[in-house]
């Protein structure tokens, strides 16, 4: 594959794990890959597919957020059918970026408010237990300098009942500047282990935080020997969106969209 100009992204359960526009992460990766001279092919790894050979053909993976019931419905497939090939891929350096419910599914388990014990992949040494109050709102996170992100202040939106407890020695993705993060208490947000990043940030995450999109692309390119353009792209529009998100989050004000509606939109999702 040395010198090739294409990568393959495996999107895990895009139908079930797709809250708050997580699909935007796929679009951001495809677009930034193209700007960097790489064709990013997208493969769906859903409940009706994602056999080991398909997983082995991917350069890296994404999984989004979802409701408790959907997590429960797909956990068995994830752990038993996709788990071994996914673990192999990640241990050989394939990037895996997981958001919210997807992040919870990388740990040992998630115990829901209803009392269900949802098994996880065990790729990240951590566990998640439902809390009494949901952590909902805009969030700002100072990403760990070790990641070397061009812009380490991450912006996003969180809505989760789960409290994620990292085992000692598992570093968080960053420190919470505003918001709840892993547990609403410790100041930790997300987790990083080699080519695996888990986070509670929806938004969608990657269009608002292009440095993380580049982290995924460069990690996938390094692992596969793919030639990719690494110079800084023109992120004027992305930076404008980030500045507005940061302003809204720090001021605690409601977004313009909410104001235009004149009321908060009714969100009926519970998980």
List residues near ligand GLN by CB under 6 A: 19, 65-68, 71, 100-101, 159-162, 271
Nearer to ligand GLN, 60 or 65 (CB): 65
DSSP 191-236: EEETTEEEE--BS-HHHH-HHHHHHHHHHHHHHHT-----SPP--H
- Which residue's C-beta sits nearest to ligand GLN? 65
Nearer to ligand GLN, 112 or 224 (CB): 112
Q: Which of 76, 100, 109, 160 is catalytic?
A: 100
Nearer to ligand GLN, 67 or 144 (CB): 67
Who contacts 184 (Cβ-Cβ below 8 Å, separation ≥6)? 131, 133, 135, 163
Nearer to ligand GLN, 260 or 267 (CB): 267
Is 58 annotated as catalytic? no
Tokens, residue 34 = 């193209």
Work out how close the CB of 23 gets to ligand GLN at its nearest, in angstroms, rounded to a whole number: 13
The sign one gets for the Cα dihedral 177, 180, 182, 183 is positive
User: Strand (E) positions, 39-100?
Assistant: 39-45, 60-63, 96-99
Work out how close the CB of 82 gets to ligand GLN at its nearest, in angstroms, rounded to a whole number: 19
Work out how close the CB of 22 gets to ligand GLN at its nearest, in angstroms, rounded to a whole number: 8
Work out how close the CB of 174 gets to ligand GLN at its nearest, in angstroms, rounded to a whole number: 18
User: Strand (E) positions, 69-186?
Assistant: 96-99, 109-111, 117-119, 126-143, 153-166, 174-178
Is 100 annotated as catalytic? yes
Residues with catalytic function: 100, 202
């Amino acid at each position: 594959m040395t010198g090739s100009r294409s990568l393959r992204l495996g999107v895990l359960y895009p139908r079930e794990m797709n809250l708050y526009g997580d699909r935007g992460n796929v679009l951001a990766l495809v677009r930034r890959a193209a700007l960097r001279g790489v064709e990013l092919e997208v493969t769906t790894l859903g409940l009706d597919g994602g056999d080991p050979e398909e997983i082995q053909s991917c350069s890296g993976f994404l999984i989004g957020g979802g409701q408790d019931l959907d997590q429960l419905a797909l956990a068995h497939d994830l752990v038993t059918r996709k788990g071994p090939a996914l673990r192999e891929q990640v241990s050989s350096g394939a990037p895996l970026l997981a958001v919210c419910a997807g992040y919870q599914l990388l740990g040992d388990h998630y115990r829901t408010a209803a009392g269900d014990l949802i098994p996880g992949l065990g790729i990240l040494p951590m566990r998640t237990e439902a809390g009494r109050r949901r952590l909902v709102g805009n969030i700002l996170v100072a990403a760990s300098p070790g990641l070397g992100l061009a812009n380490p202040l991450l912006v996003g939106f969180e809505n989760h009942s789960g409290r994620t407890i990292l085992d000692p020695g598992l570093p968080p993705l960053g420190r919470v500047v505003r918001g709840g993060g892993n547990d609403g208490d410790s100041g930790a947000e997300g987790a990083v282990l080699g080519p695996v990043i888990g986070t509670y940030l929806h938004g969608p995450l990657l269009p608002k935080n292009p440095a993380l999109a580049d982290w995924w692309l460069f990690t996938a390119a390094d692992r596969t020997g793919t030639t990719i353009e690494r110079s800084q792209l023109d992120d004027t529009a992305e930076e404008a969106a980030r500045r507005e998100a940061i302003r809204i989050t720090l001021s605690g004000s409601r977004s313009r969209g909410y104001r235009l509606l004149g009321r908060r939109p009714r969100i009926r999702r519970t998980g």
